[in-house]
Chain A
Amino acid sequence: MLRFILNNQTVETDLPSGMTVLDFVRYHKNLKGTKIGCREGDCGACTVLVGELTDGEVGYRSMTSCLMPLANAAGKHIVTIEGINPADGGLTPAQTALVDESGTQCGFCTVGFVMSLTGYSLSGGERSGETALSAIDGNICRCTGYKSIERAAKRICDLQFAICNSTISAAEVAGSQIDQAISTGTVPNYFESIGERLRMLFTEDSNRKLKIENRKWMAGGTDLYVQKHEEMVHAGAVSLFDDPSLRFINETADSVEIGPSVVVTDLLESEVFNRLFPDLYRHLKLVSSTPIRNMATLAGNFVNASPIGDMTAWFIALGARIELRDQFSGDERTIALADLYLGYKTLDRRDSEIISKITFGKDFTHFNFEKVSKRTYLDIASVNTAISLKVSDGMIERALVSMGGVAPTPLLLRKTSEFMTGRPFGHETFAAAELLIQDEIVPISDVRGSAEYKRLLARQLFRAHGLAVSSEQ
Chain B
Amino acid sequence: MKYIGKAMSRVDGVAKVTGKAKYASEFDVKNVAYGYVAQSRIAKGRIKSIDVSEAERQSGVVKVFTHLNAPKTKSSDDDFFALQSDKIVFSDQPIAFVVAESLEQARFAARLVKAEYEEEKPTSDPRSAPTVDSRSPKMRGDAPAALAASPVKFEAEYTIPIEHHNPMEPHAGIAFWEGEKLTIFIKSQGVQAFQGHLAKCFDIKPENVRVVSPFVGGAFGAALNPHYITFLTASIAREIKRPLKFNYTRRQMFTGHGYRPYTWQKVSIGAEKDGKLRSVIHEAVGNTSTIENFTESPNGFGRTLYECPNYHTPYKIAKTDLPTPTWMRAPGAVTGAFALESAIDEVAYQLKIDPVEFRLINYSEKDPETGRPFSSKALREAFKQGAAKFGWEKRKLEPRSMRDGNWLVGWGVAVGTWGAGQAPATVRIALSADGNARVGSATADIGPGTYTVITIIAAEFLGVDPAKVKFELGDSDLPNAPMQGGSITTASVGTAAQGAAMAIKTKLVGLAQKDANSPLAGASVDDVEMADGTLSLKSNAAKKVAVADVMKANGMTEIVETFTSTPNAERRNYRTQAHGAQFVEVKVDEDLGIIKVTRVVEATACGRIINPKASHSQEMGGVVWGIGMALQEETAVDHRYGRMMTTNFATYHIPVNADVQSVETAFVDEEDKIVNPLGIKGMGELCLVGIPAAIANAVFHATGKRVRDLPITLDKLI
Contacts and interface: CB of A to CB of B under 8 A. Distances in A.
A34 interface: yes
Contacts of A98: 13, 17
Q: A interface, by DSSP: helix, strand, loop or mixed?
A: loop
A200 B446 CA distance: 46
B654 A140 contact: yes
Contacts of B19: 32-35, 80-82, 85, 111, 114
A91 interface: yes
B216 A106 contact: yes
A235 interface: no
Contact of A139 (B446, B646, B657): B657
Interface string A362-398: 0000000000101111111010000000000000000
Given A146-B620, A147-B660, A114 B17 contact: yes
Given A102-B10, A142-B218, A453-B718, A107 B649 contact: no
B194 to A, nearest CB: 18
B457 to A, nearest CB: 18
Interface in A21-74: 23, 27, 30, 32-40, 42-43, 45
B633 to A, nearest CB: 10
B715 A450 contact: yes
B559 interface: no
B649 A40 contact: yes
A108 B218 contact: yes
Interface string B524-559: 000000000000000000000000000000000000
Q: B interface, by DSSP: helix, strand, loop or mixed?
A: loop
A150 B649 contact: no
Interface string A438-473: 000000000101101100110011011000000000
Contact of A146 (B20, B167, B217, B624): B624
A95 B22 CA distance: 17
A230 B111 contact: yes
Given A81-B18, A140-B649, A375-B632, A106 B167 contact: yes
Contacts of A380: 650
Given A81-B19, A105-B618, A447 B646 contact: yes
A207 to B, nearest CB: 31
Given A106-B446, A374-B632, A137 B215 contact: no
B349 interface: no
B16 interface: yes
A27 B620 contact: no
B586 interface: no
B408 to A, nearest CB: 15
Contacts of B29: none
Contacts of B170: 36-37
Given A38-B648, A447-B636, A133 B657 contact: yes
B594 interface: yes
Contact of A33 (B12, B18, B446, B718): B18
A449 B634 CA distance: 13
Interface stretch (B100-108, B377-385, B560-568): B100-108
Interface residues of B, number: 76
A142 B618 CA distance: 11
A12 interface: no
Interface residues of A, number: 74
Contacts of A226: 650
A149 interface: yes
A100 interface: yes
B169 interface: yes
A356 interface: no
Given A85-B19, A95-B17, A145-B623, A460 B646 contact: no
A276 interface: no
B659 A377 contact: yes
B9 interface: yes
Given A81-B19, A136-B657, A145 B621 contact: yes
B145 to A, nearest CB: 42
Contacts of A95: 14, 17-18
Contacts of A224: none
B21 interface: yes
B249 A39 contact: yes
B149 interface: no
Nearest to B19: A33
B714 A453 contact: yes
Contacts of B613: 102
B620 A374 contact: no
Q: Which of B13, B618, B624 has the most A CB atoms < 10 Å from its CB?
A: B13
A109 interface: yes
A110 interface: yes
Contact of A38 (B102, B649, B718): B649
B658 A108 contact: no
A144 interface: yes
B250 A40 contact: yes
A1 interface: no
A209 to B, nearest CB: 28
Interface of B: 9-10, 12-23, 26, 28, 102-104, 107-108, 111, 166-170, 215-220, 247, 249-250, 446-449, 591-592, 594, 596, 613-614, 616-624, 632, 636, 645-646, 648-651, 653-660, 663, 713-715, 718
12 contacts: A32-B26, A37-B169, A40-B649, A85-B19, A99-B17, A107-B17, A142-B218, A143-B447, A143-B621, A144-B620, A147-B617, A378-B656
Interface of A: 19, 23, 27, 30, 32-40, 42-43, 45, 80-82, 85, 91, 94-95, 98-100, 102, 104-111, 114, 133, 136-137, 139-150, 226, 230, 233, 372, 374-380, 382, 447, 449-450, 452-453, 456-457, 460-461, 463-464
